[in-house]
Structure 1
């Protein structure tokens, strides 16, 4: 799909799933801006699910929730359904610009336990992300949508390895200063292998890394 303009989508603009393969979305112009007090909800630019060899390039997304909400250019949410195993592998994000996002990039997985499944995130790289006034540059959430009691009672069932965030630059907002990145590993050891290196550090940069207790 090439050179498509879409305005005011009711939900996600484009979804790729159903074991699709060899899909290319390019030169898309996607806009969903509310003119009332009710902002649009879940107007993700693209959601990529069960599929392989998918390319998304030269795409502009302007909306009132996703780019100023929680998603960013992210992996997740994985492991939601009980008994399931969700995986994202061999993924490259390059030359993305994120403006006024809650987070520019990140990973979200569910905690595990009887109510959720397991997650595998492996060999994923963000290379050259430009952060402009986003609250966080990069985050990893290994307990997405879980209460403190549930997380304490249930062990993590995620593997997050071969993760690289590099050659990124820009400036975060001051909303969460002095922290501009949060990296929480769900488990100790090689099951959580994350590398974050900025060429031009966002202002107020500091990070927290460690296993979820």
Structure 2
């Protein structure tokens, strides 16, 4: 498959995931499980966003960090522009900042570990990138400190039991952030399945492993 065609496909997939996640993060998961209201813990965006790390890692594996960064920048620009139409400007700004920093960190970690066991690079890259991504996104989206970026939904800035089960109350966005990262860790592990399955299809190009 020609390089430009592959990069176009990766870029389109990345843009789709980012825009969908920015839209879905505005919708809490209104499901009660074992007496816990998951709306206090999760949004639907938590289940789609980790796919972005899979796309980045596959691009990095096949073409190296330089072209992987290009895909990230395409996803960043297109994602922010389209998200302004589908989400609030504050969500778009927070998502763009978190996405860019988290994905670039993922690329850097992946590249350092790419010659070790096949699962280490994608797993550690996505987990470390997700941690920073989560902190940046939820802080910018919902913390009062960033109120200058726009007005929040009252539901987002209310309080809720931390983890949904503890007596300690915390701003709802903090509960979302903790639960969101937990889901990202879980899905990061699950994403090893498609990554491993695609390893024989998405083979590194000769220059990929020499790239820095």
More helix, by proportion: 2
- What TM-score results when the alignment is normalised by the length of structure 1? 0.26
More strand, by proportion: 1
- What TM-score results when the alignment is normalised by the length of structure 2? 0.26
Which structure is higher in RCO with an 8 Å CA cutoff and minimum separation 6? 2
